[in-house]
Each structure stands twice: as structure tokens, then as C-alpha cells.
Amino acid sequence: SMSRGRMTMSRLLLAAALVAACEASQRTSGQFTATLSGQLQKLGEGKVSTVACIGPRNSGKGGLLNSLLGTTVPDVEAGVATAVDEERGVAVLNTEGFGERLGSASAADDATGDTAVAVALSDVVVLSVFFREFISDPADAVGSLSELRPSLEIALKMARESGAKAPRKRPLFLVVRDFEADEGVTTADVAAQFSSLLDSMWVSLAHLPMASGLKPSDVLQVQVVALPPSSAGGFADAADGLKAKLSKASDAAAPASKVLASLVLAQRIADQAASDVSLDAGPEDFAQAAACARAASEVFEEYVAASSSLHDRAGSRDRREPLPTLGSEGSVLLNAALDSFDTRTAAYNGTLLCDKRRSYLQTQVLADLRPLHTSNLQLAVKQAVVDFARRSANISTAAAGPSGFDGQLEAVVSQTLGAFKAKADALKVPEAGSAGTSGLEE
């Protein structure tokens, strides 16, 4: 009985180690998109709603959300921290925030690309501000909406690319912390001030096709929530009220796979915007940018056609084992696309604009291949666990010495991991001449 128990525990430990390796492969340190992708892939078809929190840097935004939602998202100095509650189906995205430090009167920093993507992706947005700062200088208190504007631009472009008739309207909770009711300022006053700021910000988005004829209220459902100081009476009731509103607003959960697809789209739009030529560029730069963009678009369309067979074979729901040629075929497709782009843009090779477009094309191809890589790697993991169970069933519990139970178990683990590694290596998609594997790693 003890030997059987040890074998069962060993199987569980190996399965956990294999799954952890699979998940870790989808993440790159410091990259919000890669981290959240791994967390969403773990949920599969489970439903999840996303809540993003923005506001001043180092102001305890993460702690506020944790107290309201019961999550464990950390505060973050740069980028976006994530916490996914699998049981409740909630993903919390805590952004770095704006400003140099809490209470600083310095101009707000531009929102990072990660923050813009996180907010554009979210079902619910929480904007945390402090009462005294808001009544003193509303624009400075909300960072001149520097985190909101780029995210709305991405959201509008996402709606257009997905074929929606109108952008999705999402709740935005303006949480006014340390609210002092005896100051003669009401939540209606705060709402009016914030609405004016939104209107001013919206002017810079009016040129976008999906923004035509719309107002901020068509894309954001703003609700002002007054949160008294934690030491004051009424704080607990106000916090409970906000908690109930957040829970209700985040009820519209979507399958994690759909959220993952939206994340990829949002990141692609953000990357594309980052690679665009600046408005003060000369005619030569515009001509170069147009030529490189056109080449990248044509090459990707050719790649899509060429990769259809691989998608059919590697992405089949009937597949029970990983496609052993996925890595080599994917590598051929990737390198063919990059070579074709290099040939078409030979006149601009080595320039910053051309390099950005090439990098973006590579990202597009890898983003298209990643679901195939992930699903086939998961098949390899399942096979490894089954293989381990089969091998370990033959372990003799009566053997003694070096070939005893522990020795046999170590041999089985080594054989199983070796077989798994060989299959996982075959799934890597390297770029010719590159020391790395372009992001689709073991």
C-alpha cells in the first residue's frame, strides 16, 4: 500500500512539473501579454471576466482591488501585474499607473503599451483617484487620462477589425478615495468634472472611423463611487456597495479562449501603432514606411495561404499525438516569410522602419503558430503522463539494492522526461541564423 501511494504521488508530481514547464514556456519575463496568455491558456474554455485598475503610481491600487475582489494581485513599478482567480473566473490587471510618485504635481507619464492593451481588453475599468487631489486639480488627479486615451483607441480599432457595428460599452468606476462629504462636493459634481475631461480627450479620437458620431458615454458607462477614509464611518458600507457593483459588472464573462484572441488582437494593434512612422517624418520616410507595410501585408497573406495545410493537420480536434514535423514546417514557413520580406524591401534593409516591420511580421506569424504549438505541446504532456503511468505500473516493489523501488522510479522518470523532451524539441520553431527559438519554446 505504501509503495502504491509513493507511485501515485510521483505521478502527480511529474504531471505537475510537466504542466508547469508547459505554462512557463508561454511567458517572457516582464511581458504582460505573454504572462496573461499563459494564464488564459490554463483556463481553456472556462469563462473569465477581466478587471483593469488604473490611477496614480504607488497609490495602493492593487491593495484596493484585492480587498474588494479577494484576489492577490501585487502592486507593480512598471508594466502590468496580473492575478487570475480560476475558481471565480476573474482576471485582475493592475497597471503601473501615472506620475512619478503619489501626490506629485509633475505631468503625467504616457501610458505604457502594456497598460493600453490591458485596459482595452478589460470588461470593467476601475480608475482610482484621491478626493483632495481631484478637487484641487481634476486633470492632474486622473493623469490627464493618459492611460485611458490610448486604450480607447485600441478598443475602437478592435471593434472595427472584428466587424462590430459599434464598440463595446464597458463600465468605468471612478473610485474617489478618502471622500469627504462635508466639503460640499457631491458625486454629481465629480461626475460633471470627469465628463468634461472625457469630452476634451475624445476630440483626439474623433478622426477614427469607429468613433464617428459617438460620444464618450457611448463607449464608457461612468459610475462615480465615493469611498470614505477607512477610519471613517460608512467606509464598510461603501466598500460593500462597490464590491457588489464590481461583481455584477464582471458577470458578463467570456470563454478564456475568446479573451485570449482579443488579447492577441489588442497587442497586434498596439504593436502596429508603435511601428508607425511619426507625423513629423519626411516624404522619404513615408514612402519607406508605405513600401515596408505593403510588403509585410502581402507576405503575411501569402503565409496564411501556405500554412493552411499545417493548420488543418496540426490543429485537428481528432489528433491524439503531437505532429512531429510541426516545428520544422513552422520554421520553413517563418523563414520563407522573412526571406520574402527581405527581398521585397532590399532597398530599405537595415533601416529602423524596415526592421520594425520585419519584427512585426515575425510576431504575426508566431502569433498564428502559437495556438498550434500550445495544443500540440499539451498533447505531448498528456502522452508523457500516460507513458509514465504505463512504465511505473511495471515497477517491482520487491526488488532490493540499486534496482529497488527508488532506483526503478528514478529510471522511469528519466525515461519519461527524455521522451517528452524529444517531442517538445520537435515543436520548436527556430528562425534561420537565430540562437533563440523565436518565442515558441519548450
In our burial notation (b when 16+ CB lie closer than 10 A, e otherwise), range 31-57 reads: ebbebbbbbbbebeeeebbbbbbbbbb
What rounded mean pLDDT belongs to the chain?
Answer: 79
pLDDT at position 31 is 64
Pick from 442, 439, 441, 368: which is nearest to 31 by CA? 439
pLDDT greater at residue 412 or residue 68: 412
pLDDT of 263 > 80? The answer is yes
pLDDT at position 283 is 54
pLDDT at position 388 is 92
pLDDT greater at residue 154 or residue 352: 154
pLDDT greater at residue 240 or residue 29: 240
pLDDT confidence of 434, banded at 50, 70, 90? low
Per residue in 108-129, pLDDT (tens digit) is 333 357 888 889 999 999 999 9
What CA–CA distance (Å, rounded) separates 2 from 5? Answer: 5
pLDDT at position 329 is 92
Burial class (CB in 10 A: 0-12, 13-18, 19+), 385: middle
pLDDT at position 105 is 34
pLDDT greater at residue 193 or residue 282: 193
pLDDT of 24 > 50? The answer is no
User: What's the CA angle centered on 271, arms 107 and 117, to 5 degrees?
Assistant: 60
Q: What is the DSSP string of 395-432?
A: --SS--GGGSHHHHHHHHHHHHHHHHHHHHHTT--PPT
Rank 96-100, 334-338, 366-370, 427-431 by mean pLDDT and report only the highest.
334-338
pLDDT of 325 > 80? The answer is yes
pLDDT of 281 > 70? The answer is no
pLDDT at position 104 is 36
Contact of 315 with 307, CB cutoff 8 Å: no
User: What's the CA angle centered on 358, arms 352 and 359, to 5 degrees?
Assistant: 90
Per residue in 347-401, pLDDT (tens digit) is 888 777 788 788 878 878 887 888 888 888 889 999 999 999 988 888 877 665 6
pLDDT greater at residue 438 or residue 206: 206
What CA–CA distance (Å, rounded) separates 362 from 289? Answer: 17
pLDDT of 148 > 80? The answer is yes
pLDDT at position 41 is 82
pLDDT confidence of 20, banded at 50, 70, 90? very low
Per residue in 193-217, pLDDT (tens digit) is 999 999 888 887 877 778 888 889 9
Collapsing DSSP to helix, strand or coil, 131 comes out as helix
Residue 211 CA to chain centroid, in angstroms? 25
What does the DSSP 8-state code read for residue 93? E
pLDDT at position 343 is 94
pLDDT of 248 > 50? The answer is yes
**Between β-strands 170-177 and 124-130, what pairing exists: parallel, antiparallel or unpaired?**
parallel
pLDDT at position 280 is 41
pLDDT confidence of 402, banded at 50, 70, 90? low
pLDDT of 279 > 70? The answer is no
pLDDT confidence of 273, banded at 50, 70, 90? low
What CA–CA distance (Å, rounded) separates 387 from 377? Answer: 15
Pick from 94, 99, 90: which is nearest to 32 by CA? 94
pLDDT at position 309 is 93
pLDDT of 102 > 60? The answer is no
Lowest average pLDDT, out of 11-20, 84-93, 152-161, goes to 11-20
What pTM did the predictor assign?
A: 0.56
Q: What percent of the chain has pLDDT over 70?
A: 81
pLDDT confidence of 13, banded at 50, 70, 90? very low
Q: What is the dihedral angle through the alpha carbons of 98, 103, 105, 109, rounded to the nearest 10 degrees? A: -10
Per residue in 216-234, pLDDT (tens digit) is 999 999 999 988 888 777 8
